[in-house]
Structures are given as C-alpha cells and as structure tokens.
Structure 1
C-alpha cells in the first residue's frame, strides 16, 4: 500500500513556462536521493518559440540534474563548455559538485514550435561527493537498456532494478525507469530499494482497489512489491533508492550544510560561479526570496 499521495502543484519557472512540481513536498522532502521532481509539460509551443520561455543560465551545487524528455527538444549549455541537444528518450546527467551553471533553451524548436514534455529531477549526492568537480554525462536513447514483458515495456534511465543496470554514472544506489503499460497490464515495484515512488505520467492505475490518475505521485512504505495495474494504456516513472540523510535546499542549491548554501549564494552574487561559455550574455540573478 502507498504511504503518501503527492498531487501536482503548478509552478512558473519565469517567463510563463509552467511546470508541475511534485518534489520537494512539505510532507515528503525526498524519495531516496531524489529531492526535486518537475513535469515539464505537456505544452504546445507556438512558432516562433519566444526566448522568454527559455531557462536562462543559473547555478547549482551539491546535486545532479537529471533531464529526460518524452517529446520535443531542449539545448543544454553549461560552464564546462558543454553544448548538448536533449532529445526524447535520452538522459542528461549533470553533476554540479562544488558549483556549475547551465541554461536550457528551446533553440531546436524555436522556428517551428511543437510539443514539449518531460521530467527534470534532481538527485542529491552523498556528503563525500558534494564538493566533487562538476561533470556532465549524456546518454542517447539507444544507450539506455530497454526491457519488456506481457503488456509492459520500459527503459532503465539510471540505476538498477528488475535485474537491469543503466550505464549512467551515479553516486548512490537508486533506480529511475520509464514504464509503459497496456490496459490491464501490471508491474510490481522493485523490492531492492528502501524508498520508492511511482509518478503517473498518463492514463490511470489501480492499487489495492483504489484508482489513481495522471499527475499523482504515490510514495510507498519500505518493503513488499506492490503491484500497479493499468486501467487504461498508461505511462509511469518509477524512482527511488537509498536515503542520504537530511539535505537543505534553497533555490537551485542543495547541501547537507546550511552554511554551504550561504556560501553558494555569495559566490553567485559575486560572479565566482562561471557562466556557460556560449551563453553568457544574461543570467538569472539570485532571488530575494524563494517560494
């Protein structure tokens, strides 16, 4: 049985681009190492896509950003000099470590517009890795293992579950999978991780006689392998892993130490976190308050 249901809350990233936020939640800050989970869409962007919808350069510390698209295209640029188009089914895994900045823009969709949809998650890292050098890894869709069973197909985005290992470089035990279920098909949650959740991307599922709809995240208690049954053709994101302990989060900064976040604020204000080499004409200033 689930331990908690989290409903989507709408959040404007600025410029009118709205996301559905699930984590962090006041009753559940993290699921395993996952500390942030946003649904980016689905949106139909009219041509030409205005630059005000882009996410301008901004900083991170102490986490990995995990970007995965269902539809559309985004362009990632960061202060390591990386420029990478993100396409559906691919994984962008950027580890902020001691400090990085990046932007996410709609350059590849600017002229023609189109649909954009996907998930941006943040994964906290163990204390021993919080000050690692920043890094970036990209995995094309065909780099990530896929699996199937009767009425079930999936892609292991990161970590391990169901006896399948993703090649993505991670810092702590976790799993993150994109699952498609045909109507009446079932999938059991992996029992190899102590903290687990299921986000319903589309369709509807049944669990213990109760129905749940798209936009809801079900967080599960430790133990057992609850079976999720699709009431119609459905898509789920399954996630979780080993807990890492308390993490503080303020704006785009995550750390086990409050004072480290204060240092990151000062570093961004003073320009000590470099801007992306090919996207350095503007940036998001440090906010006065964070909602």
Structure 2
C-alpha cells in the first residue's frame, strides 16, 4: 500500500512513570476507496523500529459483494514487505512471476531489493460475496550491503509459523527468535516480529531487543503506567524484562531488532542513498521496471 495516512504521536513526558516507554504513537485513518488503513510508522519523531520502516494496519474493512481490494501494480526498491492477515484474503502477483493468495495466519515475504513490481487484488470468488479484510502490512529495510539483492518472493503457510504458550498466553513468532523458538521466515538482520493474544488481566514479559515496539491491533494494554489503547503503538527502550498487562481481550504485534542507519523514503522507494531513489523514480516513469506477470496492463503512476 502507498500514499497512506500521516501519523500523530504523543511523546511520553513523565519519564519516571513511563520507565521503558519512549513514545506512544497514534495513527490517523485514511479511507482508500471503502476501507481504512492506519499508518503507524514512519512518523516525524520515529522513522524506524529496528529494521521496520513502515507499519500499516489494513482494516478491519467490510466489503459488499462486487467490491474489494484492487491495488494496481506499483514498484518497490530497498525493502522487503511482510503481509499478515487476521481475516480475509488478498491475491498477490509480482514481476518475478508469483501468484499467491494469502489467508489468515500465512506470511507473504516479498523481497524488493533492486526492484520489484506487485499488485494486490482479489480472486473473483472472494469479490463475488460480502467479505472482510483485516491485517498488517510491514516494510522492512534491507541492510546496506543487501539493498540491491535480487528480487524474490517467499510464502510461508500458517502451519509453518511456530507458536508457544508463555505463562498461559499464546504467542506466534513470525520472524526471528523468541521464547525458545525460531521462525523459518527469512530475515536479513537481527529482526523480531511476533503476535500474542491476551485475556483480561494476563501479563506477558516481552523479549529483549535493541529496539522494539508493541502495536495493539485489538483491545488495550498497560505498559508500566502508560495505557496503550487500540490501534496505538508504544515504542520501548532496551530495558530488560518489560511486562505488559491486558486490560481486556487483546491482540498485540511486537516488532523490533537491531538499530539501522538512516534511510531515505519517497513514495514506495527506500534506500540509504538519495540518488538511488531518484534513479528508481526515473526508471518507473520510463517503464524500465519489469511488469507483473498476469497483470501487465494497469499501473499506478509516479505521484507528482
């Protein structure tokens, strides 16, 4: 997804009370033709958390029969996109020949590297009925020595993603290692991405990481004396043994990993070099990117 909402943020002022809390980020909603997308990263005060440079919550959106997701082909460089659905389905196509529906619990990892083009639409049988879409789409910056890696696509079905119970809380480790398990999903640097489902009053000790943040996809949690409401993200420092407590039935996503150097961002392009983004813009204008297999006719023009 591209050209989404800007994010408002609240900085934690009461440092003695906030402790491990650095920022509380609250996104603004943007309607994209009938469904809501919330962009939490990047913000003016926080560009990245570990390698994670974009964090979007798609939905929850309800579509009447005959309507649905219809994102035309568009390009990326310098990142890997990670798509994970709570509900619904998206049909992914790209310029390396992939054709893959993603369903809840699966992970689609698209490595843009030196350049890839993809579209996000729906299978006709999905569009033909009333349906719901709810999920997360994240962009992960690639290390500087891997920004120009060959584009690729990897699909990991639900059954391949490891789960573990931590003090009664079910946790899925989508990327990286935590709580004694390791995900098979490819990473390019120290990376952490997990989700947990907490019942009211349950507590979870978070895994340690150089940088990390918790997004509340449903419900609300308490992090020290800071309440993190639904659709908000709390950015934490590297203090060890941070515990969160659910105030109601709550679904969280935790992201993190090693600290990255500055990245330049413009439209769908991310790079450690500004001139590389200018080159990508010109390549898209001039039609030099490869076309999406099976979706060659349409495209999203470069914004003015």
Q: Aligning the two structures, in what range does the TM-score lie when normalised by the shorter sequence?
A: over 0.9
Distance 1:11 1:258 in 2: 28
The aligned residue for residue 36 of structure 2 is 18
CA contact (8 A) 2:75 2:115 kept: yes
The aligned residue for residue 149 of structure 1 is 166
The aligned residue for residue 272 of structure 1 is 288
Count of residues in Structure 1 that have an aligned counterpart in Structure 2: 284
Deviates further, 222-231 or 71-80: 222-231
Change (3 A) 1:128 1:158: same
2:184 to 167, 172, 190: 167
Distance 1:16 1:208 in 2: 37
* Structure 1 residue 223, shift from structure 2 partner: 2.3
CA contact (8 A) 1:194 1:223 kept: no
What do residues 56-110 of structure 1 show as CA deviations (whole Å, max 9, x unaligned)?
1000000000000000000000000100000001000000010000001122521
Distance 1:118 1:138 in 2: 16
The CA RMSD measured in Å over matched residues stands at 1.2
The aligned residue for residue 104 of structure 1 is 120
TM-score (norm 1): 0.95
For the pair 1:245 / 2:261, whether they are aligned, the reply is yes
* Structure 1 residue 211, shift from structure 2 partner: 2.1
What do residues 95-136 of structure 1 show as CA deviations (whole Å, max 9, x unaligned)?
001000000112252111311000000000101100110010
The aligned residue for residue 4 of structure 2 is none
The aligned residue for residue 286 of structure 1 is 302
Distance 1:222 1:206 in 2: 17
SS of the aligned residue for 2:301 comes to coil
What do residues 157-189 of structure 1 show as CA deviations (whole Å, max 9, x unaligned)?
111122221001110011100110111111112
Distance 2:43 2:122 in 1: 28
The aligned residue for residue 23 of structure 2 is 4
Which runs of no fewer than 5 residues in structure 2 stay unpaired? 1-19
* Structure 1 residue 12, shift from structure 2 partner: 4.2
The aligned residue for residue 34 of structure 1 is 52
Residue correspondence of structure 1 range 123-202 to structure 2 within 5 A: 123-191=140-208, 193-202=209-218
The aligned residue for residue 94 of structure 1 is 110
* Structure 1 residue 18, shift from structure 2 partner: 2.9
For the pair 1:72 / 2:88, whether they are aligned, the reply is yes
Deviates further, 136-145 or 105-114: 105-114
Deviates further, 151-160 or 121-130: 151-160
What do residues 179-203 of structure 1 show as CA deviations (whole Å, max 9, x unaligned)?
1011111111211x10000000111
Distance 1:177 1:62 in 2: 23
1:43 to 54, 61, 70: 61
The aligned residue for residue 75 of structure 2 is 59
CA contact (8 A) 2:167 2:204 kept: no
1:236 to 215, 233, 252: 252
What do residues 36-56 of structure 1 show as CA deviations (whole Å, max 9, x unaligned)?
000000011111125xx4111
* Structure 1 residue 140, shift from structure 2 partner: 0.3
Distance 1:48 1:123 in 2: 33
Which runs of no fewer than 5 residues in structure 1 stay unpaired? none
For the pair 1:263 / 2:282, whether they are aligned, the reply is no
